[in-house]
Amino acid sequence: MKKLFLILGFCIFAFLPGRSQDDISVGNQGEKIKALEIAYITKQLNLSSEEAEKFWPVFNKYRMEVKNVLTDKNIHDDLERQQKVLDIRKKYRTEFARILNPERAQEVYGSEDRFRNLLKREWMQRLKERQELRPLRKGKGF
């Protein structure tokens, strides 16, 4: 498990830090992050290749439904938005349980949340490092 975090951290470090928009396109960066997420969740859920083949299309459908709710401009109440996301999660938990077993289906959202938190921590660390370097660059004529 510790090795997984080290590898994931290295991959995120390699893809995100210190690159200008000229060096890396947002789309390319998004694809790399998605690949890391797939690897992370696959490992966390210990998906076999047969399970992964069934799981990822359902997960992607789930993710699209959540995205649609989160970006719906007709929902103005935060609690209503959260409830809609919760309803989607409950619906897909049942679908994930058909592919995995019920215990492993419970882990899907935890794995998703852990990856998101790991990515946020890494992103915030990179931003902090960039901000700390900014005064040095200005003063040194970089």
pLDDT of residue 7 exceeding 70, the answer is no
Which residues lie below 8 Å from residue 94, measured CB to CB, with a gap of 6+? 105
Distances in whole angstroms, Cα of residue 57 to Cα of each of 19, 53, 54, 68: 32, 7, 6, 17
Report which listed range, 15-24, 51-60, 120-129, is most confident. 51-60
- What the block records as the tokens of 14 is 């390699």
Tell me what pLDDT residue 135 has: 66
Domain boundaries of the chain, sorted by first residue? 2-140
Average pLDDT over residues 32-54: 94
pLDDT of residue 121 exceeding 60, the answer is yes
- What the block records as the tokens of 76 is 């103005």
Confidence of residue 22 (pLDDT cuts 50, 70, 90): very low
Do residues 58 and 96 make contact, with C-beta atoms less than 8 angstroms apart?
A: yes
Confidence of residue 11 (pLDDT cuts 50, 70, 90): very low
- List, for residues 59-104, the tens digit of each pLDDT value: 999 999 999 999 999 999 999 999 999 999 999 999 999 999 999 9
Mean pLDDT for the chain overall: 82
pLDDT of residue 19 exceeding 60, the answer is no
Average pLDDT over residues 43-53: 95
Tell me what pLDDT residue 129 has: 84
